[in-house]
């Protein structure tokens, strides 16, 4: 099943923040939800640029380092705080691994190697329609400091604006299209795994991985729903239904499957880079080699 929707990229920073208090157990590698065959050199540079823009990847890149650092808070939430010197090296590793330029190169390389011209042409045209532009603007607001502040205020006052049954049904339909909860749980788990490996040099058992996933999922599911309620709070049910119908089209499903694959693989690779930097720093401090 293809899992789609641009909302997952725009909301992931909030979701890392929202579930971080629940993540205190290291995890083994999560299984990728998306696998597709690469098609090297299929799209022109301008098409790659447009795909990056409509997916909001540049906006995510600009704030990824800060958001991913919430994994440090997550790992410390169980009472095992890092020594100040080690904590500084860990944060520095994330700054380096999730540098906007490095992430941009990672994502662009992925889009270039997986791009399908006909699919991308249809999807990009639909995302540039008045409805697509409006919804993208609402989603992109979540990636701004103002959006984050407004979101936190919205969460604190949820009881003042409870969703209608119709809105809940529409968001259930959207989740059936995107499967954002499962996807973001995997991304969070991979980041936590890389951090744990980098700090301890150890892996984790399948049982630990499953326990972590079960611990994350309720908070993740709630965070996905709350983020969607916030993002589309000023849209009508008719508009939201039209948008979901657009995202359900075959070309949009395929486009977002490709973008999700690129995003997941890029985040995993940058997490692995962070882990390697942390291990190297730890080995230097011990005067030895990485374990």
**pLDDT per residue as tens digits for the range 176-235:** 888 888 877 777 776 666 666 666 667 766 667 667 777 888 888 888 899 999 999 999
Q: Are 137 and 7 in contact (CB under 8 A)?
A: no
- Average pLDDT value for the chain: 79
Q: Calculate mean pLDDT across residues 228-250.
A: 95
- Please give the pLDDT value at position 216: 80
Q: Calculate mean pLDDT across residues 122-135.
A: 95
The region of weakest confidence among 69-73, 162-166, 184-188 is 69-73
- Please give the pLDDT value at position 22: 41
- Please give the pLDDT value at position 191: 67
- Distance (Å, whole) CA 264 – CA 187: 6
- Please give the pLDDT value at position 13: 44
pLDDT of residue 4 exceeding 80, the answer is no
Q: Calculate mean pLDDT across residues 108-117.
A: 93
Contacts of 242 (CB under 8 A, 6+ apart): 131
Would you place residue 14 in the very low, low, confident or very high pLDDT band (cuts 50, 70, 90)?
Answer: very low
Q: What global pTM score does this model have?
A: 0.78
Q: Calculate mean pLDDT across residues 8-28.
A: 42
% of the chain residues with pLDDT over 90: 37
- Please give the pLDDT value at position 198: 62
DSSP run (H or E) holding 193: helix 180-200
- Distance (Å, whole) CA 208 – CA 211: 5
- Please give the pLDDT value at position 284: 67
CB atoms within 10 A of CB 31: 9
Q: Are 281 and 199 in contact (CB under 8 A)?
A: no
SS3 87: helix
Would you place residue 117 in the very low, low, confident or very high pLDDT band (cuts 50, 70, 90)?
Answer: very high
- Distance (Å, whole) CA 196 – CA 215: 17
Q: Tell the residue number behind the tokens 């791009």, with chain if given.
A: 115
**When comparing pLDDT for 264 and 26, which is higher?**
264
The region of weakest confidence among 35-49, 137-151, 155-169, 178-192 is 35-49
Six-digit token string for 72 = 């440090």
- Please give the pLDDT value at position 75: 62
- Please give the pLDDT value at position 287: 60
pLDDT of residue 20 exceeding 50, the answer is no
% of the chain residues with pLDDT over 70: 73
Q: Are 264 and 33 in contact (CB under 8 A)?
A: yes
């Amino acid at each position: 099943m293809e899992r789609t929707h641009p909302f997952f990229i725009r909301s992931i920073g909030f979701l890392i923040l929202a579930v971080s208090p629940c993540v205190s157990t290291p995890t083994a590698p999560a299984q990728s939800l998306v696998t597709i065959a690469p098609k090297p050199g299929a799209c022109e540079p301008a098409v790659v640029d447009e795909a990056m823009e409509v997916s909001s990847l540049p906006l995510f890149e600009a704030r990824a380092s800060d958001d991913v650092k919430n994994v440090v808070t997550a790992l410390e939430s169980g009472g095992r705080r890092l020594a100040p010197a080690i904590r500084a090296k860990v944060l520095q590793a994330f700054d380096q691994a999730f540098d906007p330029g490095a992430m941009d190169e990672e994502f662009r390389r992925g889009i270039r190697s997986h791009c399908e011209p006909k699919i991308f042409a249809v999807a990009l045209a639909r995302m540039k329609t008045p409805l697509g532009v409006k919804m993208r603007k609402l989603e992109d607001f979540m990636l701004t400091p103002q959006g984050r502040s407004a979101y936190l205020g919205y969460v604190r006052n949820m009881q003042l604006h409870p969703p209608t049954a119709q809105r809940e049904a529409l968001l259930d339909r959207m989740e059936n299209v995107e499967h954002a909860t499962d996807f973001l749980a995997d991304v969070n788990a991979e980041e936590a795994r890389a951090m744990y490996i980098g700090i301890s040099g150890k892996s984790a058992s399948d049982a630990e991985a499953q326990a972590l996933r079960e611990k994350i999922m309720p908070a993740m599911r709630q965070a996905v729903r709350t983020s969607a309620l916030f993002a589309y709070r000023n849209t009508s049910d008719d508009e939201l239904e039209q948008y979901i119908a657009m995202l359900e089209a075959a070309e949009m499903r395929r486009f977002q499957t490709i973008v999700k694959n690129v995003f997941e693989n890029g985040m995993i690779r940058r997490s692995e880079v962070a882990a390697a930097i942390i291990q190297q720093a730890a080995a230097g401090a011990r005067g030895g080699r990485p374990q």
